[in-house]
Amino acid sequence: MPNTQYLNDLTTQVRRDILRMVHKVNSGHPGGSLGCAEFFVCLYNNIMDRKESFDMDGIEEDLFFLSNGHISPVYYSVLARAGYFPVEELNTFRLIDSRLQGHPTTHEGLPGVRIASGSLGQGMSVAIGAAQAKKLNNDNHLIYSLHGDGELQEGQNWEAIMYASAKKVDNLIAAVDLNGKQIDGDTDEVLNMGNVKAKFEAFGWTVLEIKEGNNIEDILKGMANAKAETGKGKPVCVLLHTEMGNGVDFMMHTHAWHGKAPNDEQLESALAQNPETLGDY
Above 70 in pLDDT, residue 35? yes
Cα–Cα–Cα angle for 9, 208, 145, nearest 5°? 65
pLDDT at 2: 79
Cα–Cα–Cα angle for 66, 71, 72, nearest 5°? 75
Give me the residues paired with residue 145 across strands. Answer: 65, 174
Is 277 contained in some domain? Answer: no
What digits encode the pLDDT tens for the residues 151-182? 999 999 999 999 999 999 999 999 999 999 99
Is 160 contained in some domain? Answer: yes
Is 280 contained in some domain? Answer: no
Is 179 contained in some domain? Answer: yes
Tell me 180's DSSP state. S
User: pLDDT tier at 108 (50, 70, 90 boundaries)?
Assistant: confident
User: pLDDT tier at 1 (50, 70, 90 boundaries)?
Assistant: low
Tell me 47's DSSP state. I
User: pLDDT tier at 52 (50, 70, 90 boundaries)?
Assistant: confident
Is 26 contained in some domain? Answer: yes
pLDDT at 118: 87
Phi-psi region of 237 (alpha: psi -120 to 50; beta: other; left: phi over 0): beta
Is 279 contained in some domain? Answer: no
Three-class DSSP category at 76: helix
Does this model's pTM top 0.85? My answer is: yes
Number of continuous H segments (helices) and E segments (strands) in the chain: 10, 7
Q: CA separation (Å) from 45 to 26, 51, 142?
A: 29, 12, 16
Provide the 10 A C-beta neighbour count for residue 165: 19
Mean pLDDT of the chain: 97
What digits encode the pLDDT tens for the residues 73-95? 999 999 999 999 999 999 999 99
Overall number of domains in the chain: 1
* CATH number, domain with residue 136: 3.40.50.970
Show the domain range for 224.
4-272
* Range 182-199 average pLDDT: 95
Three-class DSSP category at 176: strand
* Range 37-66 average pLDDT: 97
* Range 214-242 average pLDDT: 98
Percentage above 90 pLDDT, the chain: 98
